[in-house]
Amino acid sequence: MSSSNTTGSSPLTFILTGIPSLPMSSYWVAWPLCCLYVLMLLGNCTLLWMIRTDHSLHTPMYYFLSMLAAADLGLSLSTLPTMLAIFWFESTSLRFEACIVQMYFIHSFSAIESGVLVAMAFDRFVAICYPLRYTSVLTSSLITKAGGAIVLRGVCVVLPVAILIKKMPFCRSRILSHSFCLHQDMLRVVCGDVRVNSLYGLMAVILTKGLDILAILLSYTMIIRAILSIVSQEARAKAFSTCISHLCAVLIFYIPLISLSIIHRFGKHLPPLTHTLLADAYLLVPPVLNPLVYSWKTKRIRRRILVLLCPRGTRQRV
């Protein structure tokens, strides 16, 4: 078999998959999918607009929240073209170059979001364990540098993944398992030795998601110790309540991610629908739920939304 990434004179293309056992033109799937994307766009854009325009929200916690919203937007918009193409227009083919670009952006924004969650955990750690030093530690300069480092890490760590897979020959069936391109899925259809790609992909996951999970666990270990040392039950509950939104965001992001990684390695016997639903949950659920969670659990944001929706008489009731 030829090891070229072209078939004759035609460019290499991949075939994406919708939801197994469902016809491509399933409008009852396409409509909810569009609603999810609209909800995601509205939620995250509203958060970004509120944080930008409301000077009372110009604090470290909300700057990190705006980074999370931006990462969520990037993650969702990376999957939007192929998801809608499949379910609205029954278009399943995707050029090799476009697939690599989509894969790169999905994994980069995923790594960026993971880094932002670590920064938010550090923010909560300083706020609870060192409240008097909060403003002196989390300065605007530190937040800017942290944001730059998070983006740079996401961009640089994933770049070799795209470069390595671009050099690989694809000469088997080029049918992918999802409605978008993921690194693990593309490796399945490589006709060649993928050990280097797999090893670097594993290293990239460990250097991003693995270290981030450890950092978040360490932060919350110290946060819990600090909360338990508070004598007042009311003050203890208030301190813990400031972490609820971030804990929800962490669980929403990491549970589908860890489940998908486990299934990719050990769940090959499971039906394709399980793989598809977990991959969709990993990429679609956090960007939709994060704005809802923060709007519901964060008093300042909830008050701001209520003022926008019901400007008269809201201030007295909130």
Give me 72's structure tokens. Answer: 């969520």
Show the tokens assigned to 55: 């000077």
H or E segment and range at residue 11: strand 10-11
CATH fold, domain 14-317, is: Rhopdopsin 7-helix transmembrane proteins (1.20.1070)
92: tokens are: 């399943």
Count CB neighbours of 284 within 10 A: 19
The DSSP code for 132 is: G
CB atoms within 10 A of CB 274: 14
pLDDT tens for the chain, residues 1 to 318: 444 455 454 678 888 887 766 655 566 777 888 888 999 999 999 999 999 988 888 999 999 999 999 999 999 999 988 888 888 877 888 999 999 999 999 999 999 999 999 999 999 999 999 989 999 999 999 999 999 999 999 999 999 999 999 888 886 678 888 889 988 888 888 888 888 988 998 899 888 999 999 999 999 999 999 998 887 888 888 888 888 989 999 999 999 888 877 777 676 677 777 778 888 888 888 999 999 998 887 777 877 777 766 666 544 444
d(C-alpha 213, C-alpha 209), whole Å: 6
Per DSSP, the residues of 36-101 read HHHHHHHHHHHHHHHHHH-GGG-SHHHHHHHHHHHHHHHHHHHHHHHHHHHHHH---EEEHHHHHH
Domain extent listing, the chain = 14-317
Contact 158, 104 (CB under 8 A): yes
